Amino acid sequence: MRTPTLKPHLNVSDQTNTSVSRKKRSFKPSAEFQRQANLGSMASYKKLHAESVNSPDTFWKRMANEHLVWRKPFTKVCTWKEPHAKWFTGGRLNVSENCIDRHLGTARENKAAIIFEGEPGDVRTITYRQLYFHVSRFAHIFENMGVGPGDRVAIYMPMVPEAVIAMLACARIGAVHTVIFGGFSSEAIKDRINDCKAKLVITADGGWRRGKVVELKSTVDRALAGTPSVQSVIVLKRTGNPVTMQEGRDIWWHDAWKGGPNHHKAKAFDSEHPLFILYTSGSTGKPKGVLHTSAGYLLGAKLTSHYVFDLKDTDRYFCSADIGWITGHSYVVYGILSNGATLFLYEGAPNQPEPDRFWEMIDRHGLTILYTAPTAIRAFMRWGDNYVLKHNLDSLRLLGSVGEPISPEAWLWYHKMIGKGRCPIVDTWWQTETGSIMISPMPGATPCVPGTATLPFFGVSPKFVDDKGKEVPRGTDGKMVITKPWPSMLRTLWGDDERFKQTYFSEFPGWYFTGDGARQDKDGNFWIIGRVDDVLNVSGHRIGTAEVEGALATHPAVAEAAAVGRPDDLKGQALVVFVTLKTGHAATPELKEALRAHVGKEIGAIAKPDQVRFAAALPKTRSGKIMRRILKQIASGGEVKGDTSTLEDFSVVAALQAED
Ligand code: 7RM
C-alpha cells in the first residue's frame, strides 16, 4: 500500500514555519553542563557517530559489552536479511537482571529505584534491593500459574510500581508482556488479547485520574467475555472500589503475594528472545502488534538514556508518559532502571488538584530531569505562568520533549519558564517501531535550535526522499527513511510478517520507511514535520483514522464515515469525523454525542472525535475513494485548494462547507 503523495499532508501539522524559527536562535550547552556530561563535546559526538555508521560492528560490539550484562557472549553483531534483523547472535542475557540484579552488591543496592507518588498524594519508595524482592516473588507467582518463556501476558494497570514490577517479572521469566494503555476500552483490550492470545492478565481495581477512580477491572471483565486464551487474572487493590472476582480465574495481587520465595534465579535468554508486543495505530483499522526482542532493544533504551538524558546515579528522573506507550517502556522502565538511576513515577493528572502538580512535585522530590510531551507543555502555557512561578525548580538540570513536533514558541517557554534558561532541552524523535530515540540533541554537545530534533543518534542514518524514492536536496521536505538496521528496531508485527514488510519496507525497498515527513537544514539539523500517512497525532497519542472509521461503521445509524485531523492549538491535531447517515436516522445533536460515545466504547476515550459533522455525501473520486485531503481542508476551515479534477461531484464540497 502506498502512502498518498506528500504535499497535501505536510502543511496540516506543520508547526515549524513560525517567525521565531526563522530567527534561527541557537542554544549552546553551558560549560558547566558540558563538564559533567556523559558526552561533552561536538567532537566526541561526531567521532562516535562516524564510527557507529562506518564501522557498526565494532561500535555496537563495544557498546553491547560495556552497557549490558551478558551470561553468554554474542558471536555475531548483526545479521541483516531485509527486512529481518538479528542482533548479538549467540549471546544470552536476562533483561530483568540487567535492570535490577546488576545493581545489587554495588552502591546502588539501597538507593531508590522508584519513588512513587499516587494522585491522592500517597508516596512510596522502593530500593533496588526491594525491587529485586518484589520482581522475584512475582516471577515465581507467574511461573506457578503456568506462565513460561514466550507466553503472552497482558498488563492493564494504572501508573503504579506494581505495573513496573509486572513488566520486569515477565521479562525475568521470558514471558512476553503486552501493556495496554489504561484509557483503552474493553473492545480494544479484547482485540489485543485475542491477537496475541494472552494467558494471564494483570490489572487493578482501578487507578486515580483527576480525582476520580478509573475502573479497570470491570473493563477487563467485559473484555474477557470474549477472550478464550485467558486463564488467570491478577488484580491489584489500588482504590478499594468494589470489583467482581471470578472464582477460579481471578486472584488478588496481595493474596498471590503471600508466602512466596524472596529470590528468583533469572534464566538467561537468547538475544532475540521476544520481550514485548506493543500495539500501535497504523493506516488500517487493525492495530499493529510491534514486536521488540531482548538484547538489541535493551541496548537501545540503555544507551540513549545514558547519552540523551545524560543519566547519572544522582538523578531523580521523571517521565510523564504512561507505561502503556513506548515512551513508558523505554524511558520509564528499561532505559532508566538499567542505568541505575532513580525513577520518579506519578500516577495521575498534571492538574490535580491544581495545575501546578508537576512543579510542586519537582520541588518536593528534588527531581532533576523532566521528559514530557509538547501537548502537556501547551497545556501548562495555557494554565499560566503563575502556577510555575510558585515553585522552586532549581533541582532540574535537563528537559526533554517527545511525541510530536514542539513549536519554537513552546520550546522557548519550556526553556525559560521551566528550565530557567539553564537546562538543555532534548527534543527526541522516535517511534514505537524504533524502540529508542533516533534523533535528538546530545545535551552536553549539540547546539539546540528550537523546533528541531537536531541530529541522529549513534547508528542512525536517515535520508529524505520523494515519492519515487529519490533523495531530495537539503532544505526540501521529503519522506524520512532509515537506511541501516539499528539494534532496537522492531523485528516484525506479531502474527503478520507480511504486513510488517508491506508497511515499513515496501514503499522504498531496502530502507525502513518512518511514515514521517521531514527535512534537513543547511546546518544538518532535522526538522520533523509530521505523519504523511493516515495516522493522527492527537495530544501525542497515535490514532489511525481507519480505526476511528471502522469503529463508526459499526454504529447502526452510520452509512459512511471519514476521519481527518485538523490543527489544534492544544492537542496538536484534533479529530474531526464526517458522517453520512442511513435513511431513517435524523442528524441530531444527540446522535453526534452518541457517535462520540460509541467511538469511546469501541476504542477508548483518547479516540473520541472532537467534532462530528453530518454530511449528505462525502467527496469522492470517480473510482469511489473518499478524498480525505478535501475533508481536511474543510475541517480546518480553509479553502479547498489543489487538484479537484478527480472529484466526482463538486457540489458535495460546497454542501459540506455550508454545513456546520
Ligand atoms: C515516541 C513516540 C511516533 C510518531 C512519529 C512522529 C511523532 C514523536 C517526535 C515526533 C516530531 C518529535 N512514539 N513524533 N516524537 N514528531 N518531533 N520529537 O511518540 O509511535 O507513539 O509515535 O510521533 O510523527 O512518527 S509513537
Q: What is the pTM of this model?
A: 0.90
Q: Which cell is 574 given?
A: 484534533
Residues in contact with 638: Cβ distance below 8 Å, sequence separation at least 6, in sequence order:
none
Please check whether residue 369 is in contact with residue 402, taking contact to mean a CB–CB distance below 8 angstroms.
no
Side-chain half-sphere CA neighbours of 246 within 13 A: 13
- Angstrom distance (rounded) from CA 177 to CA 294: 12
322 lines ligand 1 (CB under 6 A): no
The CATH code that applies to domain 92-349 is 3.40.50.12780
Three-state SS at 103? helix
285-315 burial, b at 16+ Cβ within 10 Å, e below that, comes to ebbbbbbbbbbbbbbbbbbbbbbbbbbbeeb
Give the residues across from 156 on adjacent strands: 203
Q: Give the pLDDT of residue 23.
A: 52
Would you say the CATH fold of 539-658 matches that of 92-349? no
Residue with CA closest to ligand 1 atom 13:
431
Residue 660 is predicted with a pLDDT of: 57
CA 540 to ligand 1: nearest atom = 19
Taking the chain (660 residues) in runs of 10, the rounded mean pLDDT of each run is 35 36 76 98 98 98 98 98 97 98 98 98 98 98 97 98 98 98 94 97 97 97 98 98 97 93 97 97 82 98 98 97 96 98 98 98 98 93 95 98 92 98 98 98 97 97 94 94 98 97 95 95 92 87 88 90 92 93 92 96 94 89 77 86 73 77
| Cα-based angle 386, 387, 393 (whole degrees, multiple of 5) | 105
Sketch the domain layout of the chain as residue ranges: 4-67+428-530, 92-349, 539-658
- Our answer on whether the CB atom of 407 is closer than 6 Å to any ligand 1 atom is no
Answer whether 208 contacts ligand 1 (Cβ < 6 A): no
Write the DSSP string, 440-466. ---TTTPPB-TT--BSBPTT--EEEE-
Q: 104 C-alpha vs ligand 1 centroid, how far in Å?
A: 35
Specify the length of the chain in residues. Answer: 660
| Fold of the domain spanning 4-67+428-530 | Luciferase; domain 3 (2.30.38)
Mutation probe of ligand 1 site: the residue of 429, 432, 489, 490 with most atoms within 8 A of C-beta: 429
pLDDT given at position 648: 72
Q: Which of 181, 308, 537, 573 to mutate to test the pocket of ligand 1 (most atoms within 8 A of CB)?
A: 537
446-467: pLDDT as tens digits: 999 999 999 999 999 999 999 9
Q: Is there an atom of ligand 1 within 6 Å of 280 CB?
A: yes
Read off the pLDDT of residues 32-88 as tens digits, 9 standing for 90 and up.
999 999 999 999 999 999 999 999 999 999 999 999 999 999 999 999 999 999 999
CA angle 433, 434, 438 (to 5 degrees): 150
Q: Is the CB of 533 under 6 A from ligand 1?
A: no
Here the cell at position 96 is 530483568
**Residue-level pLDDT at 70:** 98
Domain 539-658 in this protein, CATH class: alpha beta
The response to whether residue 537 sits with its C-beta less than 6 Å from ligand 1 reads yes
Q: How far does residue 269's CA lie from ligand 1's centre (Å)?
A: 30
